[in-house]
Structure 1
């Protein structure tokens, strides 16, 4: 995994540009204001507790933890049962509590406190490797810390909506996990895209996944990116079928 892999003249890069334009036309701009970029530590906690939970719920839970305990080090010292109660609104509160405590304890063990500022001095790929070594942290969370926090690095956050759409469009192997999807997509991104563009692309695809490209019964007929989608270009009369053999 490198900061940015070499770019060539892959036609899929132009498709991604067209996809971005089509989604902006369909949904409008979805730009994260600079003042909404949180600290990398906050984004880490948000990611670790956020499995299968709505973003607004995880936002509130993360803010409440810091407000209640006063520091992430105090959160790390809290008993799992207590954290589980504090995370009652999360989809998996006990699992979230165990993962969060393990993750923050590991950061404290490595750095002396819950402080990720040292990552700003590392190349993005090295920073993500460091993050992914923490308990409960995978590629999505690591990319989120590097892209959506104040670090604002040019990496793509890929959630289940994003991966599903890229699989249906034919960009990513059907059985690829998040890490493999990331490795497949990063070399194809337009070289002019910076952190904010990648963040907006992710948010637009999430919106597409919630509206048209749903997990079951996707609404291909009126999808704004159907013209560039391998699934959408199948015969209109044919029912949707997963791209189970596509590589």
Structure 2
């Protein structure tokens, strides 16, 4: 059985195996089919960035392509030299520096609020202390920051140098899981996370979860689009409730 730990109202599963749910095998088949179609997408260890960099990229990245958010995040650190210096910059100045983002003014305000909150709690803009916390405690800490919800919290824990076994869920990922019938049809990101984490294959590592997310994102861009999904030729069609209903 998988047991749940309640912290700050969030229900996050401890990593004890639960392998009797049919969704677990469906996820395994989905992963295999996606790898066969798209090939492996493995994030090299040298591409795992500092947790604060990862947090900043998530906070400023609303509805913006990843490559642009990466460029903006790198640009901020290069120009200011430290995240504490970024926290001290005026919102108007940050807005100019975030011109590539879809919502530069909103991104600038959220970023400044988030960095100042970290410094108020830690004395400096650093997330190093999270390494000593259990994953669910670290997620709770992150989600208490301004502008940080489940997706960004999971992103920091999974894709940064923390390399923790939690699943990042964004729009493409959630939509595909809903259409496949693996999570409730109207689940938001937090509910999707709580539904999926207990049924992930217990042998999956943090890197496997990262790859699963990246593969689903690729599927969402190529086949399982928000509108007019292309079910014909979809590699996971055999396991998809939506595709079966269309047939």
- Under a length normalisation based on structure 1, what TM-score does the superposition of the two structures give? 0.94
Distance 2:141 2:90 in 1: 26
1:103 maps to 2:114: yes
SS in structure 1 opposite 2:179? helix
SS in structure 2 opposite 1:115? coil
Q: How does 1:217-228 map to 2 (within 5 A)?
A: 217-228=228-239
SS in structure 1 opposite 2:195? helix
Distance 1:80 1:178 in 2: 29
Distance 2:87 2:164 in 1: 27
1:141 maps to 2:152: yes
Distance 1:35 1:103 in 2: 26
- Under a length normalisation based on structure 2, what TM-score does the superposition of the two structures give? 0.94
SS in structure 1 opposite 2:244? coil
SS in structure 2 opposite 1:137? coil
Distance 2:142 2:13 in 1: 15
Q: How does 1:1-247 map to 2 (within 5 A)?
A: 1-4=12-15, 6-236=17-247
Contact 2:23 2:199 in 1 (8 A): yes
Distance 1:113 1:61 in 2: 22
Contact 1:2 1:124 in 2 (8 A): no
Distance 2:104 2:187 in 1: 28
Distance 1:9 1:126 in 2: 27
Aligned-residue CA RMSD (Å): 0.8
Contact 2:150 2:189 in 1 (8 A): yes
After superposing on structure 2, the runs of 4+ consecutive aligned residues of structure 1 that deviate more than 4 Å are none
Shift, 1:6, TM fit: 4.8
SS in structure 2 opposite 1:231? helix
Distance 2:15 2:91 in 1: 39
Distance 2:107 2:163 in 1: 26
Distance 1:85 1:43 in 2: 21
Shift of the 23–84 alpha-carbon distance from structure 1 to 2, 3 Å rule, reads same
Q: How many residues align?
A: 236
Contact 1:5 1:186 in 2 (8 A): no
Distance 1:196 1:3 in 2: 18
- Alignment gaps of 5+ in structure 1: 237-247
Distance 1:68 1:2 in 2: 40
Who is 2:5 aligned against?
none
Distance 1:65 1:3 in 2: 36
Shift, 1:171, TM fit: 0.9
Who is 2:4 aligned against?
none
